[in-house]
Structure 1
Amino acid sequence: IPSCLVRRTFFACPLLKAHSGLVQPNKEIFVRPCRAGSSRVAAVESQDDAIIKWGLLLIPLSTFCLGTWQVQRRKWKLKLIADLESRVAAEPVPLPTSPLELKDLEYKPVKVHGYFDHSKELYILPRSLVNPKREAKAAGQLISSPETGANVITPFYCTDLGITILVNRGFVSRKKVNPETRLKGQIEGEVDLIGVVRLTESRKPFVPQNRPEKNQWYYRDLEAMARLTEAEPILIDADFKSTVPGGPIGGQTRVSLRNEHMQYIITWYGLCAATSYMWYRKFIQKLW
């Protein structure tokens, strides 16, 4: 009678051989199904499933951590905005000349007395008019078209301090950048002025290099501006009350900061909820 005879191997995995006829008894020959290979495959598949299961769990965990981080960032940003607004609204103090004192006074108003030297005007461009009411009305809009122009930086000799500083008189449209087009706005004689202290800034990515030889400035490099105008590297933004008919529009200190953290919070927590539900349906609910 035909039968499958199995010979024991080194790994206990039987080798099947088909024979016919009578079989002599042999202790080394026995009939036994081989299950070692299938068990090994099942173990590998189970291990792979576990890796995928816990690996995918990292997605909702990561998005939850990012959402929580954005919550903390939003608290920090709101506190920073409130601090800037309180500094700008503080009572003006006399302008100090010490660099260490000036560093602590950024965004705080100071008062000076002296006169302008309009022959050495500098222009930071392109700039848009800072208008808090309009910006609040346009908040959330994807497209806005504010008028562009330049900020006029003018040397100002402080008669009480005996030094020349730089004053951002404010915004002018492109048509009014040439001082000959706004002669009525060129203040003559000594005046009292209140402005907000601003520090130098480094060039940001994608911002062009300043071109002093063409009087084209794209960011506040106070050291370079001071050398060109023979002034101290001190700059203040004149307040809105300094505006005169035909002259630059003062009050061009932007204290509002980008605060889009709530959108990020909703995005990350939304992804966390969605991926958590998908993970639950895939690996937990199917076990019930």
Structure 2
Amino acid sequence: MRFVIPLLIGLAGVGVLGWLGQWQLDRLAWKEGILAEIEQRIVAPPQAIPAKPDPEADRFLAIRATGTVLPEEVHVLVSTKQRGAGYRVISPFVTSYNRRVLVDRGYIPTTGKDVQRPKIETTIVGNLHWPEERDSFTPDDDVTGNIWFARDVTKLARHLNTDPVLIIVAETGEADQTVTPLPVSSAGIPNDHFGYAVTWFGLAAVWAGMTLLWLWRMRRRTA
């Protein structure tokens, strides 16, 4: 009877930890399905901007629009592996039917912050997005110095007097591209469920090993 309680504790621990690992594998399959759906939406044939785009239903919707990029700019701090620190350039974009929206033109190095970029008439292809980049650790934007720390679409729209609609440029018809597009991608969406599953299954194996060691030592003391 003295072995029953340790054995039950061991089985219960392995069972719970194994269940958590399987739950993470189920979450992995769910997340991979979502990422595949996002990728399909990103590369789908582009369409016109919806009259009333929904931040959830229309997130990553592929868009084509012709109009004018205005010279007003907001600079959002960003860092890329290939280029290092720089800024995303957010500008007002007036469509051919006179709708004013936001356009994320892409990356400029820190040395390009003070370069004056003119008004440009062009056709852009990209995706709608409402990034969720602001949390309790995000610094306040330096509006006076034009250094922003998050793409808060509502706040940017108020600042640049546009609709709260943001197009992330993937392709542009600009002849002289001083701004490098940073298209949306599912690569930046966290998907750590496999790692979590390995951790839980590893803990289950350790728990099983410790239980066996416990039972072995109990048996030696009674031998």
TM-score by length of 1: 0.67
Q: Distance in 2 between matches of 1:51 and 1:205?
A: 46
The list of structure 1 runs, each at least 4 consecutive aligned residues, that deviate by more than 6 angstroms after superposition, is none
Q: Of residues 178, 198, 209 in structure 2, which corresponds to 1:277?
A: 209
C-alpha contact 2:89 2:105 (8 A) present in aligned 1: yes
> 1:267 corresponds to which letter in structure 2?
T
Contiguous gaps of at least 5 residues in structure 1: 1-45, 130-143
Unaligned stretches of 5+ residues in structure 2: none
Structure 2: distance between partners of 1:121 and 1:226: 12
Identity %: 24
Report the CA distance between 1:62 and its aligned residue: 2.7
Number of positions where the alignment pairs a residue of Structure 1 with one of Structure 2: 219
Provide the residue aligned with 1:74 in structure 2: 28
Residue 55 of structure 2 is aligned to residue 124 of structure 1: no
Letter in 1 for 2:29: K
Matched, 1:172 2:98: no
Question: Residues 212 and 243 (structure 1 numbering): CA distance in 2 closer, same or farther, change over 3 Å?
Answer: same
Q: State yes or no: 1:105 paired with 2:36.
A: no
SS at match of 1:168: strand
Partner residue in 2 for 1:230: 161
Q: 1:96 aligned to 2:50?
A: yes
Partner of 1:157: 94
Cα-to-partner distance string for 1:136-168 (whole Å, 9 max, x where unaligned): xxxxxxxx67512110001011122x2211100
Query: 1:271–1:128: structure 2 CA closer, same or farther, 3 Å change rule?
Result: same
> What CA RMSD, in Å, does the superposition of the two structures yield over aligned residues?
2.8
Tell me the distance in 2 between the aligned counterparts of 1:77 and 1:54.
Answer: 34
- In 2, the alpha carbon distance for the partners of 1:157 and 1:237 equals 15
Alpha-carbon separation, structure 2, partners of 1:200 and 1:261: 22
Other structure's SS at 1:192 match:
strand
Tell whether the 8 Å contact from 2:42 to 2:184 is kept in structure 1 after alignment.
no
1:181-192 matches, cutoff 5 A? 183=117, 186=118, 188=120, 190-192=121-123
Q: Is the radius of gyration larger for structure 1 or structure 2?
A: 1
